[in-house]
Amino acid sequence: MKPLLTSLILILLGQLCAQNPDINRLPDTSFQTQQIKTASWTISTTFNSRVLSAGRDFGSSQVGLFPGVFYSHPTGLYVGLSGSMYGDSASLSYTQTNLSLGFAGSFTSNWRYGLSFAHTFFNPAEEGLLSNGIGLSTDLTFGAFNVGTSFTAMLGEENGYRLNLFSSGYWPLGQKGVLGNCAIGPSLSGLFGTENIPFYTLPLAQFERATGVRWTERKKKLPTPTPRPRQEGSANVFGLMSINLAVPFYYYAGNWTFGLTPNLVVSVPLPGETYEEQSSSAYFGLSISRQF
């Protein structure tokens, strides 16, 4: 197994389904000194017991399933293709396909950076408000700890901006036996953004069904007309939107990686964001990946 590549793959999935999009930047220094000498493929699936974006679901509680396949080259270039399915436990609807391209590198043995571009194909297409993302990220490692930040500019019918500040740790749980293949990686993050960034992952109709208000008319509390015109624009304020505490547990078995991640998310309202009651939420994620 190449742990640094596994970390990269989990970061890509985290962009879609975690409140902290940098939750899996593993700070273990032995992982970072291990070089990837051959190209690799990874398939992965993540299940979330609740789908939130920036701490919000607009009153529509759903589970999520996120399958994906990823390719990484020794130069640091990578490409990923993943999907999202939302719904209740009895029925899931396919909502989007995400294509990611990027480069991961390092300035020093403990200072990493990443550049990425992602495009989302929403299903149906008219439910996509923010369909493109251009990202920059960096993090520093200090022994078993690391700190970092990532910034993503989101483009589409509107523009949005997301800034994530995070800190995390990584500890193997033992040297031998079953625990020798296990580790935990707790993290704490603060997610800042514009009011519209939940729609980088959520369909716009989820907001409009839950509130009965057209997104562009949300400040006026007007009923949603049919069909919905989409040409209007509105300003988006920027600020702290959520705080996420996560405690991922990993189990490694050859080229397989299994993960269980409890999450506690505290949603923070932006000025003028009165259409949803903000609260704390707890959910868990399950992931499995296989590297080739």
**230: CATH:** 2.40.160.40
Strand residue runs (E) in 109-229: 111-122, 130-142, 145-156, 159-169, 171-172, 182-184, 187-194
Cβ(258)–Cβ(287) under 8 Å? yes
Q: How far apart are CA 262 and CA 47, in angstroms?
A: 12
pLDDT, tens only, 192-224:
999 999 999 988 888 888 777 888 777 665 444
User: For residue 241, what pLDDT is reported?
Assistant: 94
Q: What is the pTM of this model?
A: 0.84
32 Cβ contact list (under 8 Å, min separation 6): 4, 106, 109, 110, 112, 141
In the chain the first and final C-alpha atoms are separated, in Å, by 9
Of 218, 286, 283, whose CA–CA distance to 53 is shortest? Answer: 283
DSSP character at residue 24: T
CA distances to 61, 67, 69 from 289, in Å: 26, 10, 9
pLDDT, tens only, 48-96:
999 999 998 888 888 999 999 999 999 989 999 999 999 876 788 999 9
94 Cβ contact list (under 8 Å, min separation 6): 83, 84, 85, 123
Cβ(253)–Cβ(187) under 8 Å? no
Q: Structurally, how many domains does the chain consist of?
A: 1
Q: Tokens standing for 114? A: 């990443």
* Full domain range(s) for residue 98: 3-291
**Would you say residue 282 has pLDDT above 60?**
yes
- Mean pLDDT within 234-247: 87
**Would you say residue 258 has pLDDT above 80?**
yes
Q: What is the DSSP string of 93-144?
A: EEEEEEEEEEEEEEEETTEEEEEEEEEEEESSGGG-SEEEEEEEEEEEEETT
**Would you say residue 10 has pLDDT above 80?**
no
pLDDT, tens only, 16-34:
555 777 665 554 433 333 4
Q: How far apart are CA 180 and CA 173, in angstroms?
A: 6
- Residue 257 has a CB neighbour count (10 Å cut-off) of 23
